[in-house]
Structure formats: structure tokens, C-alpha cells
Amino acid sequence: MSSEVKRENSFYVDSDKLSKEALEKKHRLENDPSVRTDPFEYMDGMEKISSDIMDKVIAAMNYYDYNKYTAVDVKRALDSETCGIEEFKALLSPAALPFLEDMAIKAKIETSKHFGNTVYIFTPLYIANYCENYCVYCGFNCYNDIKRKKLSYDEIEHEMKIIADSGIEEILMLTGESRVASDVKYIGEACKLAKKYFRNIGLEIYPVNSDEYRYLHQCGADYITVFQETYNAKKYETLHLMGHKRVFPYRFEAQERAIIGGMRGVGFSALLGLSDFRKDALATALHVYYLQRKYPYVEYSLSCPRLRPIINNDKINPLEVGEKQLCQVLCAYRIFLPYVGITVSSRENKSFRDGIAKIAATKVSAGVSTGIGDHESKYTGKQEEEAGDEQFEISDARSFDQMYSDMEQEGLQPVLNDYVYV
């Protein structure tokens, strides 16, 4: 039996800036499930696609009993030349934790075999933090009292130039989830600007339809990343109380719609600490596994973020997901999905990122800001006009130059871009 203690986060925080009516609505959403919309009912304008992948992933997750696996099962998985779903389940189980060193050795062999000693470096650029969702764990949620900001095109280009001048060649652009404040055309124009400065452009935005993904790809976007947050539908419903993000299947199918729309790559993640992290890790990997078999020509990547404190709520933490458990998940991912890129973000500290980059990770962020319009102040020290507040607290604040140097010192080869467009 697992000795892990299950606890709960304290997500609800009231702002004194909310009107009486807004506060009443917020409390109703929090306390009365009957006033919330059906999380499996598509909203107007949401594209439905024909796919059985969600059903297969959720069924496997629901039937996963990680406590039934023993040391014998783990040893068998580690000794196997190939890692199937059953072996992967064993490697995610509590029984595998004492074998973490053996898992790391096997993961490192797989990483070296398929990626050599390379590690890719990128940086995120948040261009807006307006959001129409009430996701209780997110600093951008519509009820949180933060400074909101949407960058103008001139401000976006200014931020991009500062980032590009630092040497970075890959950028991941992010917005809050608001079609009103950050519509698809706005994001598309930002992609066109990014093409002037960067060789690889990623998007982490609200899910859109396949024709909109096609448009964004034509504007310059190479890949998209979507966090499912948790694959536990019941838990998902209690965390996403209002907004488009509440629709569980539409979010789940985002990567497949992006593939249909022509995106070169798609990224996946659960936010570990929201629900049972072992089941979420299984579901995330199987989501990739089944899509990879359906669309083998696409580039796939995984992230493995843990919950971080947000502005106005420092009580949000990843709970039972410690660094050992995180390392276990990442090693299991690598053994099960040897060809898939793995990103470890600045949510994690320097020592962990340096270590995991030598074992399983293939991509790290540097020069990170999760605020809106503050790269100049962070990169050069020059004070900028009002910036928007950050989505969450980062742990590793290293600059691009420092990250590049540290990766070299760890015996790794930093890579800025490996795509040539003709």
C-alpha cells in the first residue's frame, strides 16, 4: 500500500475589489455545482471531431490501480527491451520509487540514444493576461485581483527584439484564455512579428478550432502546447468553475485539432498536484501514445509542471509530488516514449533542472518572465511602464547566457534551433 498522504489545496481567495454581485456569483460557483455548466457539453462555436482517443485514455486511467504493482513488476519492466503500457504502469507505481536510480540509468540511455547530449533552450513571452475563466489555481483567473495588460503590436515587437538580442531563437507565446481580449487575429499578427526574430515559434493559448490552428500555422506558429491540467473529469469540474476552459472534451481534443490544422508539433501536460499525479501522468503519456500512432509524422512533446504559488495565494503547492516523484514520472516518460521531447520549466529549481537535463529532459526555458511586458526591466534593468502581473512564481530565474553556460558545464550541448526553412 502507498504511504503517501493525500491532502487538499486551499484554492479560494476573495478580493475586496469585487462588487457584491460578482462576489455572490463567485461563491455560488464555488459552493453550488448546480449553477455550473455541464463540463462535457460543447459551447457554441466549438468544433467536434470524430476520435476515440479520449475514451481510451480515460478508461485506462480510471482502471489504473498503481498499488497492485510490486518490486517484481518493476524489475520486469526495467529488464524488458521494450516498454509497453503495462510496464509503464509499473514504473509509475509507488513500488518503483526505490528503483529510481535504475530508472534514471535506463532513461539516460534512451535519451542519449535518440537525442545525444543536446538540450534545447527557449523562452516564453506572455503577451496578455486577460482571462474569462475561473480556474481556481491560476493567477490569471477572472476573479483574481491582478494588474491586467494586453501588449500592443509595437510592445510585442519591442519585447521580441529584447529577447532576440539576448541570443534566443525559439519563443513560446502565451495569452490568458480570453477570445475577447486576445482573439485569433491578434495572436496571428503576433506570430507574424515573431517570424522576424525567431526560427521556432510555439503557442500556449486557449484551444481553438482546426481552421483557426491552420490560420495560426500560416501566420508562423510551428507548434502548440495545451495543458489538460488534470485528466480526472470529476476533479476537473471542481477546478474549472466557469468559462470555455470548463469544457473537458474540447480541451482534450485540442492537440488533434491542431494536427488536423497542419501544426508541425504538439505538446501535452497535466499540472501535477491538482489530482492523483500518478493517474494524471499515465493519462498524459497515453494521450501522446495513441495520437502518435494515429499521426506518426508529428513531433510530440511532454511537460511535467508542478503547481506553484500564485499572486494573492501562496498556499497553493504540489502537495504529494516531491522531487523524487517528479523524477520518477520524467524517467518513466522517457522509457515509455523514447522519441518524445521532454520540457522542464522554470517552475523547478536550478539543481533539479540541471540534473534532469542529463537524464531525461531535452528542453529547458531560460530568461523567463511570466509577467506581461517586463522583459526590458528583467533583461536590462531599465524600468518599463506598467507591466501586467505574473501567472505564477518561477523558481529558476537564470538568464539565457547563464543557462547556456551551465548546460555546457554539465557536459551538454545547448541547441537554439535545428530547423532550416527553404
- Residue 1: predicted pLDDT: 38
pLDDT tens readout for residues 51-68: 999 999 999 999 999 999
Q: Taking Cα atoms as reference points, which of 209, 248, 206 lies closest to residue 54?
A: 248
Instruction: Give pTM, 2 decimals.
Output: 0.92
How far is 163 from 198, CA to CA, in rounded Å? 9
Under a CB-based contact definition with an 8 Å cutoff, are residues 172 and 204 in contact? yes
Spell out the residues 6+ positions from residue 301 whose beta carbon is closer than 8 angstroms to its own.
223, 225, 265, 266, 267, 268, 340, 341, 342, 343, 363
Q: Which three cell numbers stand for residue 307?
A: 503547481
pLDDT tens readout for residues 87-137: 999 999 999 999 999 999 999 999 999 999 999 999 999 999 999 999 988
Q: Which three cell numbers stand for residue 9?
A: 489545496
What are the structural domains of the chain? Answer: 49-415 (3.20.20.70)
Q: Which three cell numbers stand for residue 14?
A: 476573495
213-232 mean pLDDT: 97
Lowest mean pLDDT among 7-11, 244-248, 396-400: 7-11
More confident residue, 226 or 422: 226
How far is 413 from 422, CA to CA, in rounded Å? 25
Query: DSSP letter string over 175-234?
Result: --S-TTTS-HHHHHHHHHHHTTT-SEEEEE-S---HHHHHHHHHHT--EEEEEEE-S-HH
Task: Phi first, then psi: give them for residue 394, nearest 5 degrees.
Answer: -90, 165
Cα dihedral sign for 243, 248, 252, 253? negative
Under a CB-based contact definition with an 8 Å cutoff, are residues 205 and 182 in contact? yes
pLDDT at 373 over 80: no
Please state, in angstroms and as integers, the Cα–Cα distance from residue 304 to each residue in 138, 345, 363, 382, following that order: 16, 8, 12, 33
Q: Look-up: residue for cell 521532454?
A: 342
Q: Which three cell numbers stand for residue 216?
A: 495560426
Under a CB-based contact definition with an 8 Å cutoff, are residues 179 and 205 in contact? no
How far is 403 from 414, CA to CA, in rounded Å? 9
Q: Which three cell numbers stand for residue 45?
A: 462555436
Q: Do the bridges between strand 299-303 and strand 341-344 make them parallel or antiparallel, or are there none, so unpaired?
A: parallel
How far is 176 from 308, CA to CA, in rounded Å? 17
Residue % of the chain over a pLDDT of 70: 89
How far is 217 from 212, CA to CA, in rounded Å? 9
Residue % of the chain over a pLDDT of 90: 73
* Rg for the chain, CA atoms, rounded: 21
